[in-house]
Amino acid sequence: MTRICVTDAIPEPSIARLRASGHEVIVHDGPQPPDRAELLTLVEGADAVLTVLSDRVDAEFLEAAGPRLKVVANIAAGHDNIDLAACAARGVVATNTPGVLFDATADLAFGLLLAVTRRLGEGERLIRAGRPWRYRTTFLLGHSIEGKTIGLIGAGQIGTAMARRCRAFRMSIAYAAEHPMREPARTELDAVGMPLDELVASCDVISLHCPLTEGTRHILDAGRIATMRPGAYVINTARGACIDEHALAQALASGRLAGAALDVYENEPEIDPALLGLENVVLAPHLGSANVETRTAMCDLAAENALAVLAGRPAPNALRP
Ligand code: DGY
pLDDT digits over 113-150, tens only? 999 999 999 999 999 999 999 999 999 999 999 999 99
Average pLDDT, the chain: 97
For residues 235-244, average pLDDT? 98
Query: Ligand 1 in contact with 77 (CB < 6 A)?
Result: yes
Average pLDDT over residues 272-292: 97
- Give the ipTM: 0.95
pLDDT tens track for 121-130: 999 999 999 9
Distance CA 282, CA 114 (A): 10
Mutate which of 80, 105, 157 to test ligand 1's pocket (most atoms within 8 Å of Cβ)? Answer: 105
Distance (Å, rounded) from C-alpha 94 to C-alpha 187? 34
Q: Burial code of 17-27, b = ≥16 C-beta within 10 A, e = fewer?
A: bbeeeebebbb
Query: Among residues of the chain, what percentage have pLDDT more than 90?
Result: 97
Question: From CA 195, how far away is CA 74, in angstroms rounded?
Answer: 32
Q: Could you tell me which of 289, 246, 245 has the C-alpha nearest to residue 265?
A: 245
Ligand 1 binding pocket includes 5 (Cβ within 6 Å): no
How far is ligand 1, taken at its centre, from the CA of residue 31, in Å?
21
At residue 257, the pLDDT reads 98
Please check whether residue 114 is in contact with residue 235, taking contact to mean a CB–CB distance below 8 angstroms.
no
pLDDT band at 197 (very low <50, low <70, confident <90, very high): very high
What's the CATH code, domain 102-283? 3.40.50.720
Beta carbons within 10 angstroms of residue 52's beta carbon: 17
- Shared fold status for 3-99+291-310 and 102-283: yes
- CATH class of segment(s) 3-99+291-310: alpha beta
Domain spans, the chain: 3-99+291-310, 102-283
Pocket test for ligand 1, best of 74, 289, 299, 317 (most atoms within 8 A of CB): 289
Q: Is 305 in the pocket of ligand 1 (CB under 6 A)?
A: no
Q: Say if residue 117 is exposed, middle or buried (CB neighbours under 10 Å; 0-12, 13-18, 19+).
A: buried
Q: What is the mean pLDDT of residues 280-292?
A: 98
Query: How far is residue 199's CA from residue 263's CA, in Å, rounded to a whole number?
Result: 22
> Residues 190, 140: contact at Cβ < 8 Å?
no
**pLDDT value, residue 1:** 87
- Report pTM: 0.96
Quick check: 84 and 319 in contact, CB under 8 A? yes
Closest C-alpha residue for ligand 1 atom 2: 76
Nearest to 163 by CA among 181, 144, 142: 181
C-alpha 306/C-alpha 302 separation (Å) is 6
